[in-house]
């Protein structure tokens, strides 16, 4: 794991679009869900970088970043209205929980008790916490800002046995957009019974401003190993070196270059070795035409790199571009998928008296 710490990192330049303005947060009514009002919050930093986030599912709806000429454009896939999200979508930009990714067989055993979850993946497995997971909840929201950053804080109480998970889980997610052009996402959670927790954000990034697919983007992932899966994307339990495989992305690689070897695209967990309290650079993505560079830092041990291969929706981006295959790339910071069923994986168990704490940072600039 030393590789990611000592290798030459990409030079990232912060472009100030409207310097001198104090960071701010504003909100607007955005409809209702489950008979609760929903809001859209706009966080803006001193450079004009802007994130629009709703308290429905904690979804990052838009994220505006400058290109090499200082032109701002939205770099995440999203939909134009709450009704669009309520009609269904592939987890665009949302908070995922209680557990992101898959739990094999939709069950796990904790302290001798077996828990059964919704089989919402292939009719066999659990994915992203179940049918009515955190992405479909209206969260409680508060805001704050100062001279350095703008903050949206979201809280939610997940009741004991919600979607089959034990324990009353109190969750807080802070979105902080600072003047270093970092969108910092910090997660905390506590429980009153032993449970499992694996929280993440599921944004699909597209550095062209969502005008083209991401096949021409270049990526670099600072991982020496990954967790192979079976044909249904359930980890085998092995931890395998990336060297000599299509998953060796330790040097800059164009996304399209490996797809002949990966007909279903990228959808794998990389072992990036983040540690609590010590966020490290785990991935970078660069788009040559715009010059935009996205860097992902995290305290999590894993990163799922997903290129949405085969995605097709009957809706389009605000630019009128259809949501088709490889329109976005996800950098889902996480504990390894199916961790509750693999004792050799980093544990996702949370017990009473403990505090779950994780941090992920998405930093934008140009290279």
pLDDT digits (tens, 9 = 90+) for 19-57: 568 999 999 999 999 999 999 999 999 999 999 999 999
pLDDT for position 360 = 98
Average pLDDT, the chain: 94
* pLDDT: which is higher, 185 or 19: 185
Catalytic residue chosen out of the listed positions 128, 202, 217, 335: 202
Domain boundaries, the chain: 3-366
pLDDT for position 329 = 97
CA gap 246, 147 in Å, rounded: 44
pLDDT for position 320 = 80
Region 269-284: mean pLDDT is 96
In this predicted model, what pLDDT tens digit does every residue of 327-358 receive, in sequence order? 999 999 999 999 999 999 999 999 999 999 99
Q: Is the pLDDT of residue 158 over 50?
A: yes
CATH classification code of 3-366? 2.70.98.10
In this predicted model, what pLDDT tens digit does every residue of 109-155 receive, in sequence order? 999 999 999 999 999 999 999 999 999 999 999 999 999 999 999 99
Percent of the chain with pLDDT over 70: 95
Catalytic residue chosen out of the listed positions 128, 332, 335, 342: 332
pLDDT for position 16 = 57
pLDDT for position 307 = 95
Q: Is the pLDDT of residue 10 over 90?
A: no
pLDDT for position 20 = 62
Q: How much is the pTM?
A: 0.95
pLDDT for position 14 = 61
In this predicted model, what pLDDT tens digit does every residue of 80-102 receive, in sequence order? 999 999 999 999 999 999 999 99
Region 247-251: mean pLDDT is 98
pLDDT for position 91 = 95
Percent of the chain with pLDDT over 90: 88
Q: Sorting pLDDT into bands at 50, 70 and 90, what band is 5?
A: very low
Q: How many CB atoms within 10 Å of residue 133? A: 26
Q: φ, ψ for residue 259 (rounded to 5)?
A: -70, -20
pLDDT for position 313 = 86
Can 287 be counted among the known catalytic residues?
Answer: no
Q: Which of 63-72, 76-85, 268-277, 308-317 has the lowest mean pLDDT?
A: 308-317
Can 89 be counted among the known catalytic residues?
Answer: no
Region 60-78: mean pLDDT is 97
Q: Is the pLDDT of residue 295 over 90?
A: yes
Q: Is the pLDDT of residue 7 over 50?
A: no
Q: Is the pLDDT of residue 3 over 50?
A: no
pLDDT for position 184 = 98
pLDDT for position 314 = 81
Torsion-angle region of residue 261: left (phi > 0), alpha (psi -120 to 50) or beta?
A: alpha
* pLDDT: which is higher, 224 or 3: 224
């Amino acid at each position: 794991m030393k590789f990611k710490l000592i290798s030459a990192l990409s030079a990232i330049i912060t472009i100030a679009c409207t310097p001198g303005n104090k960071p701010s947060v504003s909100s607007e009514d955005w409809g209702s869900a489950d008979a609760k009002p929903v809001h859209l919050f706009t966080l803006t930093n001193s450079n004009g970088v802007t994130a629009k986030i709703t308290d429905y599912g904690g979804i990052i709806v838009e994220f505006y970043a400058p290109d090499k000429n200082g032109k701002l454009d939205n770099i995440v896939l999203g939909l134009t209205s709450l009704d669009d999200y309520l009609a269904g979508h592939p987890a665009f930009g949302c908070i995922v929980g209680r557990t992101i990714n898959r739990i094999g067989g939709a069950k796990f055993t904790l302290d001798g008790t077996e828990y059964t979850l919704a089989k919402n993946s292939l009719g066999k497995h659990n994915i992203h916490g179940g049918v009515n997971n955190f992405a479909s909840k209206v969260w409680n929201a508060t805001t704050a800002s100062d001279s350095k950053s703008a903050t949206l804080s979201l809280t939610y109480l997940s009741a004991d046995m919600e979607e089959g998970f034990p324990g009353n889980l109190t969750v807080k997610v802070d979105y902080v957009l600072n003047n270093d052009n970092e969108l910092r996402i910090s997660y905390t959670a506590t429980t009153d019974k032993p449970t499992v927790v694996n929280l993440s954000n599921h944004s699909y990034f597209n550095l062209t401003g969502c005008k083209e697919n991401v096949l021409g983007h270049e990526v670099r992932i600072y991982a020496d190993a990954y967790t192979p899966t079976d044909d249904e994307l359930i980890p085998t339990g092995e931890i395998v070196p990336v060297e000599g495989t299509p998953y060796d992305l330790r040097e800059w690689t164009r996304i399209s270059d490996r797809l002949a070897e990966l007909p279903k695209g990228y959808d794998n967990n990389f072992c990036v070795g983040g540690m609590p309290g010590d966020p490290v650079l785990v991935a970078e993505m660069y788009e040559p035409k715009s010059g935009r560079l996205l860097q992902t830092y995290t305290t999590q041990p894993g990163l799922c790199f997903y290129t949405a291969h085969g995605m097709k929706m009957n809706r389009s981006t605000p630019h009128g571009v259809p949501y088709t295959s490889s329109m976005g790339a996800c950098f889902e910071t996480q504990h390894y998928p199916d961790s509750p069923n693999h004792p050799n994986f980093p544990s996702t168990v949370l017990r009473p008296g403990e505090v779950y704490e994780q941090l992920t940072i998405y930093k934008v600039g140009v290279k």
